Structures are given as C-alpha cells and as structure tokens.
Amino acid sequence: MTTFQEKLANSVSQNDSLVCVGLDPIAERLPTGISRDANGIFEFNQAIIEATADLACCYKPNFPFYGALGAKGFDALQRTIAAVPDRVPVILDCKVGDIESTAERWAHMAFDELGADAIVVNPYMGTDAIAPFLTYGDRGIFVICHTSNPSAADFQRLSVEGEPLYEHVVRKTLEWNGDHDNCGIVVGATQVGSMARLRELAPDLPFLVPGIGSQGGDLQSAVGDGLRTDGAGLLVNASRSISFASSEADFAQAARQATIELRGQINAVRRTSVGV
C-alpha cells in the first residue's frame, strides 16, 4: 500500500516540482469553445491536467466549485479526480470539520467515493472531528493553521497562553501526526511572518501553501522560509493564475506555460536556499 506521503514524494521527485495546481473552475469563466456547464468543467479540467501532469506535484480541486452545480457537478468532480494520473496525488479542498459521525461520512465521500489522496480539514471542533480522517493511514490530512485570507487574524492570531492560536494548532497537529504519520498544515503564502516559525515548530510536516498569484503572496519569502532541509515539504498552490491564464482556445497551453514559470521560480529559490 502506497501512502500519501510516499506518493507525494515520488511526484515531487519525478516532476522536480512543488507546484500544486488548484482546480477551481467557474462555469461562467470557461474559455471560448467550452460549454459553460458541468460537462464543460470536466472538459476544461481534463485539458489542464493533460497539459500539466508532468509539471505539478499534485492537484487540488475545491469542492464548492463542483457542489454548487448539484449532482452534475459532483459527477464532474469525480471524473476530474479520476482523470489525474495515478502517480500524482489529489488533495480535496473542502475544509470540513464536524462531529465524529458527520466526519466519518465526509471521509467516506472524499476517500472511498471520490478517491482523493488527501483532504483539507478544519480543526476548530477538536480531535473527535479529525479522528475519522486520520484512520485512513494511506491518505493525507491538511489541517488549517494560518491562512491567507484578510480576516485570518480574527481568530488565528489570538493569544492563547502567550502564543498565537495557530501555534497551538500546529502543536496539536504534531500530536495527531505522531500517532498516524499522515498530517500536514495549511499556511497561507501571505503569512510570511509566521512561515519560518511554523517550520521551526514542525520541521518535517508538509505545508500546503495557498495565496500565491492572485492573492499576492510573496513567493520567495514563503518558499525560502517554508522549505524543509531536504528542499521539499511545500505544496505551493496556484489556481486562477494557472487555470485561467488564458480565456481563449489556447487555455491549456497557457496553463502549461504558467506552471512551467511558477515551477522555475520555486526551484530557483529551492536551489538558492538548500541547494536542491
């Protein structure tokens, strides 16, 4: 049985990449020649995947962009995940976190029905809301820690026993990972002030890093501060800047070029920082 961590490490190595391609399709924005419905979303995603599968370390479809279209959207999501080559992992971004019985159903949906390799979870309700995901030892769990949105400070930076709340989150994630060895955290690229501190606290955990591109994250600082000593440990997510690099028929080629450029920028920092 290949674990998520093994699959991810193999993909990072084979594609020489820390680029996570976000698949957040908006029907109304689909390019020229693509039907603006669930079938069009799958066609669009499939073309993006085919154009970037040798460049990305993983893919991250965002559940609401599919669920908003009902049953047809769910089908498009299922087909999208199936279209990703088996060697490249898929992280389902749905930021779930509910009581244990509900979490069990989410885990079944994500892992057994959709076939995702990992999932993004919200830790606010504590261990019993996370436990059902942890029991899937071959899958990955990314715990929301310090995000890139403007209102992250409302709760995440509150001082609790002399430390910001997000530090307590990473410490708890380390406990969960100690028992199951399948956890990572979500750290926004806009949170460059905390990236190095979180890497200090969690030297081995993988970090899922949204916020590059349209959200204005500082790529060089985020990568330089967040890398592990082995030059990996980061999944730098880019969604709109890749998927919507062009609104014309050349969208797949434009997505490929945008991925090549981002991978090159990340790898330049990797080589400067740790010599990889």
- C-alpha 117/C-alpha 151 separation (Å) is 29
DSSP SS3 for 185: strand
- C-alpha 60/C-alpha 25 separation (Å) is 11
> H or E stretch including 172?
helix 165-180
In this structure, what token pair is assigned to residue 202? 């969690």
Catalytic residue among 60, 72, 95, 172: 95
Cβ atoms of residues 217 and 238 within 8 Å: no
Cβ atoms of residues 76 and 41 within 8 Å: yes
Active site residue 172: no
- Give burial (CB, 10 Å; 0-12/13-18/19+) of 258: buried
The catalytic residues are: 95
